[in-house]
Amino acid sequence: MGGQVKRAFKFRFYPTEAQAVELSRTFGCVRKVYNLALQARSEAWTQRGERVDYEATSALLTAWKRTEELAFLGEVSAVPLQQGLRHLQAAFGNFFAKRARFPRFKSRKRSRASAEYTRSAFRWRDGTLTLAKMAAPLDIRWSRSLPDGVAPSTVTVSRDAAGRWFVSLLCEDPSVAPLPVTDAVVGIDVGLDHLLVLSTGEKIANPRHERRDRERLVKAQRALCRKQKGSSNRDKARVKVARVHARMADRRTDHLHKITTRLVRDNQTLVIEDLAVSNMVGNHCLARAIGDAGWRQCRQMLEYKARWFGREVIAVDRWFPSSKLCSVCGALAAEMPLQVRAWTCGCGATLDRDVNAARNILAAGLAVTVCGAGVRPQRNTPGGQSVTKQKNLRREP
């Protein structure tokens, strides 16, 4: 694996006024080309039953540049525009493979402003990065160093809703290699009272980043509501709200990185639950707390870090009744209300609800590795509906 893993290194940078103008134009052109190509592909299929691929949209881009209406597309680098068409092709590939829904049009206000440059559109020399159509290199704040002797293969420049500029350098990282094999295994149960509960008995607290900044967020949102739509003051207020959200997101990401890195380094096998987070956030009483906990982001980090370092992540079926199953004797309790945090089984074992669930998740995951079959035990009620596991979810104040 060493030398084969491509890793993105993200840094913040501060563009000059001319660079900011050029990048903003590029973002707009990328969005315009993406929307035009999406419209052309959609119309070709719905009206004529034709499939338009990347090569056809690339030819359309050349024709668009020759028109008077879209001549401005030729004023920016062509590479980010071509990359936008490739991203659209990938989006359609994911849609046809049923991994994602149909591609949507990009919005100027809601979509992420970004542009991707390949090697032909940037110059990397002596640790400085200069993009196409720019005379001076970017003023990047190097918070960490890139791998020695490795040049980036792709550069992605973006601007978030808070007005911050970032550059992401995709490089092959030879330092990423499988860790020594260990016998340690762990089961992980997620929740809101505690962010993670491990089968070892360790409970990782939930920092509740959103709650810490809730007063500041409410104040900023109220100020935004009082501003007239379309005014400059409303745009300034919107940026203030975005900065609060960015502050919370940065804290959450940093915390999850530290936790997941430690878990992957210390354990050979990690067993988690295959939760349908997108369905769970449909509960308006819990959506804010679930989103703040970052369960989906935590799982994604565990999975890609496990691939990097030669670990294994096993997902146990979401219907597995881990909270109601005794981890000592295997007896299944008929009911387990959410307010019950500890209970005594008929075998005499006193069980902590969350630790017991983590141990059951671990046992189910190890059974998958031994038997090679999925784990989906469930009970049916007289009405034929399955009884789902009750998670440690409490209503947020």
Q: What is the pLDDT of residue 396?
A: 42
Q: Phi, psi at residue 9, to the nearest 5°?
A: -110, 115
* Owner of token pair 């979810």: 393
Task: Say how many domains are in the chain.
Answer: 2
Structure tokens at 372: 């090679």
β-partners of residue 154 are 118, 170
Q: How many CB atoms lie within 10 A of CB 374?
A: 12
Q: How many residues does the chain have?
A: 397
CA distance 235 to 224: 8
Domain match, 77 and 53 both: yes
Q: What is the pLDDT of residue 60?
A: 95
Q: Which residues are known to be catalytic?
A: 189, 273, 354
Q: What is the pLDDT of residue 377?
A: 40
Q: What is the pLDDT of residue 387?
A: 32
| Percent helix, percent strand, percent coil in the chain, to nearest 5 | 40, 20, 40
* Owner of token pair 């563009």: 15
Q: What is the pLDDT of residue 276?
A: 83
Domain match, 132 and 189 both: no
Residue 259, Cβ density class (10 Å: 0-12 exposed, 13-18 middle, ≥19 buried): middle
User: Looking at the domain assignment, is residue 382 inside a domain?
Assistant: no
CA distance 11 to 141: 6
Q: Which domain holds residue 319?
A: 185-206+263-371
User: Looking at the domain assignment, is residue 215 inside a domain?
Assistant: no
Domain match, 282 and 161 both: no
Q: What is the pLDDT of residue 112?
A: 87
Domain match, 103 and 202 both: no
CA distance 252 to 294: 7
* Owner of token pair 């809730």: 214
Q: What is the pLDDT of residue 371?
A: 59
Domain match, 152 and 202 both: no
Domain match, 167 and 199 both: no
Residues of the chain with pLDDT under 70: 1-3, 370-397
Q: What is the pLDDT of residue 342?
A: 83
pTM of the predicted protein model: 0.83
